[in-house]
């Protein structure tokens, strides 16, 4: 009788151990499948600190005032000075990004697609000219979005989305 109980207890504990191992294996397999199938997705961030940095740029490069783009200052920003000097202005003051580790690309999207920053320049920064995959070669991207009013030289303004994609 005693022997029979011991055997039963052994069977029960073996059953529990096997089921725990099976559950752990199952969780591991699911985690592996998820990590393989789900690729890192660019997360859209609205109202991020990158825009605060841009708003706080001093001097002739100060092209963003709240929700308005100053076209003259924007042209100055993208044409005068090096990209590296702009990186520290856009990324560093109040973010966790670093101008040595991170890159950024900036572009505008309206209802008819990409709107040129200046005539002939569709995007500015790390992947200039490629706004569809601006973080090619980087592990992940942070997509900052803000609606802005952008005037044209010959037409009145359009309300569109300004994108700043930070690559890490």
Partner 1 sequence: MKKIGNFLSFSATDAKKKRGYFYTLDAIIAVIILVIGIMIITGFYFYAPDKEKSDAITTDVTSILSDVYISDICEETGSTCTCHYYPSLENPDVCRFLDPNYNLMDVMGLLYFKNRRNDINNTLTEIFVASGIKPANYDMQILLTDGPDTHQLFPLIEQ
Binding site for partner 1 (CB under 8 A): 15, 19, 22-23, 26-27, 30, 44-47, 66-68, 109-111, 146-147, 149, 151, 155-161
Rounded to a whole number of angstroms, the distance between the first and last alpha carbons of the chain is 67
Q: Specify the residue, 6 or 68, whose C-beta has the smaller distance to partner 1.
A: 68
User: What DSSP designation does 42 have?
Assistant: P
Query: Rounded to the nearest whole angstrom, what is the least distance from the CB of residue 156 to partner 1 in the complex?
Result: 5
Task: Between 22 and 80, name the residue whose CB sits nearer to partner 1.
Answer: 22
For residue 61 the two structure tokens come to 């490069």
CB of 90 to partner 1, least distance (A): 19
Q: How far is CA 105 from CA 18, 46, 66, 122, 144, in A?
A: 52, 16, 20, 11, 10
Q: Which is nearer to partner 1, 46 or 83 (CB)?
A: 46
Residue 82 CB, shortest distance to partner 1, in Å, is: 31
Q: Please state the separation of Cα 81 from the chain's center in Å.
A: 25
- The two structure tokens encoding residue 101: 């580790």
Instruction: State the nearest-atom distance from the C-beta of 54 to partner 1, in Å.
Output: 15
> What is the closest distance, in whole angstroms, from the C-beta atom of residue 26 to partner 1 in the complex?
7
What's the rounded Cα separation, in Å, for the pair 28 and 12?
Answer: 24
Residue 7 or 159: which CB sits closer to partner 1? Answer: 159
* Count of helix runs (H) and strand runs (E) in the chain: 4, 8
State the Cα–Cα distance between residues 64 and 72, nearest whole angstrom. Answer: 11
Q: Which is nearer to partner 1, 115 or 121 (CB)?
A: 115
């Amino acid at each position: 009788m005693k022997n029979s109980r011991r055997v039963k207890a052994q069977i029960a504990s073996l059953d529990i151990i096997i089921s725990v191992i099976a559950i752990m294996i199952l969780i591991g397999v699911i985690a592996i499948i998820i990590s393989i199938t789900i690729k890192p997705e660019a997360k859209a961030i609205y109202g991020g600190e990158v825009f605060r940095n841009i708003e706080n740029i001093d001097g002739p490069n100060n092209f963003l005032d709240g929700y308005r783009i100053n076209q003259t200052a924007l042209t100055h920003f993208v044409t005068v000075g090096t990209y590296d000097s702009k990186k520290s202005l856009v990324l560093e003051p109040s973010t966790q990004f670093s101008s040595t580790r991170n890159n950024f690309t900036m572009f505008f999207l309206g209802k008819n697609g990409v709107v040129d920053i200046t005539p002939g320049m569709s995007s500015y920064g790390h992947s200039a000219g490629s706004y569809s995959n601006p973080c090619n070669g980087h592990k992940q991207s942070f997509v900052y979005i803000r609606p802005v009013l952008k005037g044209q030289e010959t037409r009145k303004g359009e309300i569109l989305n300004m994108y700043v994609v930070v690559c890490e």
